[in-house]
Amino acid sequence: MSDYQAWFQCSQGCDSRYELTEVIYRCPDCDGLFEVVHDIDSLRKRSAAAWMKLFDQRYMRTEFPYGSGVWGKKEFVLPNIPNENIVSMYEGGTNLHKADRFGEEIGLKDLWIKQSGNSHTGSFKDLGMTVLISTVNQMITRGKKISAVVCASTGDTSVALSAYCAAAKIPAVVILPRDKVTAAQLIQPLSNGATTFALDTDFDGCMDIVRKLAEDESFYLANSVNPLRIEGQKTISIEIVQQFEWESPDWVIVPGGNLGNVSAIGLGFLMMYELGIIQALPRIVCAQTANANPLYRSYKKDFNEYKPVIAKPTLATALQIGNPVSIERATKIMKRFDGIVEEATEDEFAHAAAQADRSGLFSCPQTGVALAALIKLANKGTIKSDERVIVISTANGLKFVDFKVGYHTSKLPDIITKLSNKPVELSGDYESVRAAIDSIA
């Protein structure tokens, strides 16, 4: 048994505790969301310097499971689980791209892109799914009957769920809005053998159905209402700080849809702050598309009022969520971090993604939303030129090729494609190519 313990506890302050292997998602007393609470006093018995040394010794090594970017921080994530029940694909360990050219164009000297999409299934969702499926695996080894792990998804959650379930030989059921995920996202759960439903509704409609399924305890819920997902995703913060020799940045900008990731990133920084690993907290920016912006609207009213919205279609499909599950967690985090919520129109984020691509990136539309928010805040002077800024890139751009092709062929509705770049079609001879090159020069 580990010296360190963690458990479920109501985020609204109720006293009841539950084991992490219990099938429970909301507090039975107040209906509040649960969070994973760690025994901080036990964690403090090891010094901040000792934690940093331990994590550095494990980072990207081959000893299972500690080479994983998540499980290298096991004591901060899920200390209770035996290593033999962990289901890992060595997720995390993603690079920080120093975006000098793009930063120079928008007036920032210390801009970095955290490439969380450079993971096994191509998105940050792997970080949370390894924790959740490992817990399910432990539940099954203890004799718990789990018929399937289920999720609603705008794409990437279903992909991560299907891959980790396939590795663990656990059935997966994914429910998607028909024609609202990309072909690259749809083919991944199909290829992994998941039972996949495409429904004539949006994400919020899919989520309603999954909630009803999860009333049967044999269908385990994998959406981010489940705080186990949050625990894996919070390692983004720890890894960023580790990559900067344990220094905290000034700003972190996160795309916001269901709002689990912004919640997780905040919790990661808070845990390090409590344990003395970092001495200051960054400010967090949550970036939403203007077509699905419930947190932005709440922010404009100082978070004193929140109303779900009917999400309009958006090219940032993963953010097309009008009633985010993690709204309570995200609001708490934004208040604690003196956070800012910014929105971006379709034209703004399509252009921001294209501009970033011109500097060597290949940004998904969700990351484009974060980049557009960054440009706005830099132009306003809210973010100063010499401050260290991290933009969280949430998925690999190759999942959104239609978005890229549509931009460069000027076929995206209501988008001014200022940076479109079409192939030059010529006859197949040297002279034509040379003449075309000379004309450009």
What does the pLDDT average to over 71-75? 98
Kind of pairing between the strands at 6-10 and 17-18: antiparallel
pLDDT at 363 over 80: yes
pLDDT at 1 over 60: no
Q: How confident is residue 359, by pLDDT bands cut at 50, 70 and 90?
A: very high
Lowest mean pLDDT among 5-19, 100-114, 136-150, 385-399: 5-19
Residue 223's pLDDT is what? Answer: 87
Residue 426's pLDDT is what? Answer: 95
Residue 407's pLDDT is what? Answer: 97
Do residues 127 and 260 lie in contact, with contact meaning Cβ atoms separated by under 8 Å? Answer: no
Do residues 330 and 259 lie in contact, with contact meaning Cβ atoms separated by under 8 Å? Answer: yes
Do residues 177 and 205 lie in contact, with contact meaning Cβ atoms separated by under 8 Å? Answer: yes
Q: How confident is residue 12, by pLDDT bands cut at 50, 70 and 90?
A: confident
pLDDT at 393 over 80: yes
Structure tokens at 273: 């702050």
Do residues 249 and 282 lie in contact, with contact meaning Cβ atoms separated by under 8 Å? Answer: yes
pLDDT over 70 percentage in the chain: 100
Rg (CA), the chain: 22
Residue 387's pLDDT is what? Answer: 98
Do residues 52 and 277 lie in contact, with contact meaning Cβ atoms separated by under 8 Å? Answer: yes
Residue 374's pLDDT is what? Answer: 98
**Helices of type H across 66-217:** 74-77, 100-106, 125-141, 156-168, 183-191, 203-213
Residue 155's pLDDT is what? Answer: 87
Report how far residue 224's alpha carbon sits from residue 326's, in angstroms, rounded to the nearest whole number.
Answer: 7
Task: Tell me the pLDDT of the chain averaged across its residues.
Answer: 95
Q: What are the angstrom distances between the C-alpha of 181 and each of 2, 78, 300, 410?
A: 41, 31, 30, 21
- DSSP for residue 399: G
Residue 15's pLDDT is what? Answer: 83
Q: 28-51 pLDDT, tens per residue?
A: 989 888 999 999 999 999 999 999
pLDDT at 243 over 80: yes
Helix/strand/coil for 12: coil
Q: 161-184 pLDDT, tens per residue?
A: 999 999 999 999 999 999 888 899
Residue 11's pLDDT is what? Answer: 85
Map the chain to HEC letters.
CCCCCEEEEECCCCCCEECCCCCCCECCCCCCEEEEEECHHHHCCCCHHHHHHHHHHHCCCCCCCCCCCCHHHHHHHCCCCCHHHCCCCCCCCCCEEECHHHHHHHCCCEEEEEECCCCCCCECHHHHHHHHHHHHHHHHHCCCCCCEEEEECCCHHHHHHHHHHHHHCCCEEEEEECCCCCHHHHHHHHHCCCEEEEECCCHHHHHHHHHHHCCCCCEEECCCCCHHHHHHHCHHHHHHHHHCCCCCCCEEEEECCCCHHHHHHHHHHHHHHHCCCCCCCCEEEEEEECCCCHHHHHHCCCCCCCCCCCCCCCCCHHHCCCCCCCHHHHHHHHHHCCCEEEEECHHHHHHHHHHHHCCCCCECHHHHHHHHHHHHHHHHCCCCCCCEEEEEECEEHHHHHHHHHHHHCCCCCCCCCCCCCCCCCCCCCHHHHHHHHHHHC
Query: Which value, to the nearest 10 degrees, does the dihedral of the CA atoms of residues 221, 116, 123, 201 take?
Result: 70
pLDDT over 90 percentage in the chain: 91
Residue 440's pLDDT is what? Answer: 87
Residue 17's CB is within 10 A of a number of other CB atoms, namely 12
Residue 68's pLDDT is what? Answer: 97
Smallest CA-to-CA distance from 389 within 115, 114, 135 is with 114
pLDDT at 358 over 80: yes
Residue 180's pLDDT is what? Answer: 87
Residue 353's pLDDT is what? Answer: 98
Structure tokens at 153: 């998804």
Q: 296-313 pLDDT, tens per residue?
A: 999 999 999 999 999 999
What does the pLDDT average to over 124-151? 97
Do residues 119 and 126 lie in contact, with contact meaning Cβ atoms separated by under 8 Å? Answer: yes
pLDDT at 203 over 90: no
Report how far residue 197's alpha carbon sits from residue 274's, in angstroms, rounded to the nearest whole number.
Answer: 43
